[in-house]
Amino acid sequence: RAEAADGWRARLAAAAEGGHTLVLSSEAFQNCADFAALRALCRDHYVEAVCYLREYLDYALSAYAQEVKKVGLYAGFFEFERGFDPQLGRFVARWEEFANRCHWRLYDRTLLAEGDVVQDFLATAGLPDFGGDRFQSENPRLGGSLLGFKLMANGAGLHSLRLARALEPLAAARSDFRAPWRIEPGRQAQLRAGRNYNAALEGLVGEVRLADAATGTLPFESPGFAADLTGIVAALEGFPALRAHPLFAVCQEAGPCPIPP
């Protein structure tokens, strides 16, 4: 472990040589538990942390979709949410103790600089615009019928990261394949009332605009789900075990996938 840490410090030093600012970016930092190792890695540097935080329900819906997609979760959203309790105060305290300075930003496109998270990050970090094309998300969340398909695949024991990646172009092609789980307004308020997350978030970033999932979709909604399922399975030619499974074999005689290229 010490040798690995020394190797990472050497890489960090080489990357920083001749430069002014070194940017390390990863969603994995949200799960960092070993700050001693991170302190050792960054011991020769002044550290500023820039973190984008979602409103509670938006965060829960996004985390749920990612668990279904990347981890193979087989459960409905409300079952997942009962165990979802991000400890924002503890998270903030750990990073405030570690970094020389922290910037807490609300992930709300209407409030980001120029509506763009990259531009907002550059402005927050005091860095010049490097130009070039903006990053396009390669990790869209699953929603609607595509989420329903992945839940079925997970329940059938067919989850894999390869399958998760294969669903990303399908999600990118249709907005309803990225929509959050639909929740009526009264239930949204009930879910938020059960957590103190948004109150802590407002203490960091000021007023928080609440996400609205009332216009979302459900994973097995009729009448579109059957046709969507057929198209999804037709698009997954490289997964013979999935296509041969009794749950999905019935879909193989259908026409072309109704998902635009």
**E-state strands within the chain:** 48-53, 101-106
Domain layout of the chain by residue ranges: 53-84+138-249
Q: How far apart are the first and last CA of the chain?
A: 46
| Residue 220 CA: distances (Å) to CA of 87, 114, 177, 229 | 32, 37, 12, 10
> What are the C-alpha distances in Å from 19 to residues 9, 12, 22, 108, 260?
16, 11, 8, 31, 44
**Stated pTM of the model:** 0.86
- Mean pLDDT per 10-residue section of the chain, whose length is 261 residues: 70 77 84 83 88 96 96 97 94 93 93 88 88 64 96 97 96 94 97 96 95 94 90 94 91 55 43
Q: How far apart are CA 188 and CA 99, in angstroms?
A: 34
Contacts of 93 (CB under 8 A, 6+ apart): none
Q: What is the pLDDT of residues 48-80, one digit of tens each?
A: 999 999 999 999 999 999 999 999 999 999 999
Contact 94, 86 (CB under 8 A): no
